Amino acid sequence: MRKVIRGATSGALLGVGALHLAWALGSHFPARSEHDLARSVTGDDTMPPRAASAVVGLGLSVVAVAALPIADGIPGSAALRRLAGAALLGRAVVPSGPLLSALRLPTPGPEFVHLDRVGYRPLCLALGAALLTDLAGSQAHAR
């Protein structure tokens, strides 16, 4: 069961990472326009710099690989999963208003607030919990 959870976690992280990389290359999928995408993912009228989307996409992709069971022998993979799990849990529990303010981003619009509440934050919670729960299970299994 742990392998299935780790595979699903890795797949979800890779999917979200690929989406960010597509945005870095100029795609506005799944929205009709870049403006619509910006309203959905940032709550503003403009997208963040493409380099920022690329960094997020690459980071999520690296964590996706570290989440795979075959990565257990790679030095630092457990620490990376722990760090990513904590960051995702933090993203899940910190309300979007203060988070965006801390990042010096505009106050989010209602569409983003809704998507954040029903989609983004729950996904971050599930992925963060999966990464951290697996670490706890791995340590107990190793004893």
The pLDDT tens digits for 21-39 are 999 999 999 999 999 999 9
Identify the residue with better confidence: 25 or 1.
25
- Please report, in angstroms and rounded to a whole number, the separation of the first and last CA atoms in the chain: 19
If you average pLDDT over every residue of the chain, what do you get? 91
Cα–Cα distance measured from residue 17 to residue 44, given in angstroms and rounded to the nearest whole number = 21
Task: Check residue 143 and give its pLDDT.
Answer: 44
Q: How far are the Cα atoms of 4, 28, 39, 94, 120 from residue 45, in angstroms, in the given order?
A: 39, 13, 6, 23, 19
This prediction's pTM: 0.88
Q: For residue 141, how far is the Cα from the chain centroid?
A: 27
Task: Check residue 98 and give its pLDDT.
Answer: 83
Task: Supply 9's token pair.
Answer: 């976690």
Tracing tokens 């989010």 back to the chain, one arrives at 108
Mean pLDDT of 10-24: 98
Mean pLDDT highest for which of 39-43, 106-110, 125-129? 125-129
Max Cα-Cα span within the chain: 52
Residue 79 has pLDDT above 60, yes or no: yes
Residue-by-residue DSSP string for 55-80: HHHHHHHHHHHHHSGGGGGSTTHHHH
54 contacts 60 by C-beta, under 8 angstroms: no
Sign of CA dihedral 83, 88, 90, 96: positive
Task: Check residue 124 and give its pLDDT.
Answer: 97
Identify the residue with better confidence: 134 or 62.
62
